[in-house]
Amino acid sequence: MLPRADWTAFVKRRAAELGFMACGISRAEFLEDEAPRLENWLKQGMQGQMRYMENHFDKRLDPRLLVDGAKSVVSLLFNYYPPAEEQQGEDTLKISKYAYGRDYHFVVKDRLKTLLAEMQANIGEVGGRCFVDSAPVLDRAWAKRSGLGWVGKNTNLITPGAGSFYFIAELIVDVELEPDGAIRDYCGTCTKCLDACPTQAITEPYVVDGSKCISYFTIELKEQIPSEMSGQFGNWVFGCDICQDVCPWNRFSRAHSEPRFQANPALKDMTVSDWQEITHEVFQALFQQSALKRTGYEGLRRNIRFVTAD
């Protein structure tokens, strides 16, 4: 077994070897600063129909309620930025870059489980749980605390030299690791994300009204999209990358090296007409193991009709 002083170094080394682009550690404690912000956000109804955001309020703020005896939160970043040759052009309908390939829940969670198993094998008795956007965990808050970046004005985590096109994952464990410190905010006076959002979902710096976001309407909303939103989605039919695409820090984004995130070659070649005529069989072939399964074929068809309506 590793001596205690080497535990943190082992976790970070193995995280890098497993393909994570960064790993940071923070103490498992109550998120005192985030509590009033989350409460106010919910009171203003910015969650829209995402009722699950109202559940488990205490657990979202205290990891010790998710893992008995939790002492450390290990935050990890996993790059999904697609190579230039896979990215869709402006003359067709678009889906968010994170959904080009295999559903990230499976890809990233596999690596997390491996990391936890190796901690148990090399450190000793380690109790913990893996989280990839699938439980009441404020992942950006933990990543910020662990020094992996700052939460920008578009509320995405932004990392110096890397940007924001990555998934955030956590291991909450009951062993004490050496915590990292937070870094400062480098957004400065920039307001590119606020200026570019077509639905004004970024109501003020560092506040996003989830119920106004294109991603909310095209993924989370299960009923018809309100007619007053007509003409505001551009060509986005699943998610939206606008506030990230305009962020100056994303000039540092580099293509991922994960084979399972590679896009189906047919995706880039699809015209607007191809999207409008998409069949269930084509949907299955293109997005068999994609995050698009969240909205489903009929949901995608609804979005396509809404965006292409005269």
The answer to whether residues 67 and 128 touch, using CB atoms and an 8 Å cutoff, is yes
Residues 6+ apart with CB under 8 A from 231: none
The one catalytic residue in 58, 91, 110, 133 is: 133
In SS3 terms, 195-231 reads as HHCCCCCEEECCEECHHHCHHHHHHHCCCCCCHHHCC
Identify the burial level of 17 via C-beta atoms within 10 angstroms of its C-beta, where 0-12 means exposed, 13-18 middle and 19 or more buried: exposed
Residue 37 DSSP one-character state: H
Tell me how far apart the alpha carbons of residues 68 and 257 are, in angstroms, rounded to a whole number: 35
DSSP 228-257: GGTT-STTEEE---HHHHT-GGGGG-----
Q: Which of 93, 91, 99, 95 is nearest to 309 (CA)?
A: 93
- Could you tell me the CA-to-CA distances from 98 to 80, 92, 95, 290 in Å, in that order? 6, 17, 8, 9
Q: Which of 268, 37, 12 is nearest to 115 (CA)?
A: 12
Q: Is 139 noted as a catalytic residue in this protein? A: no
- Looking at the annotation, which residues are catalytic? 133
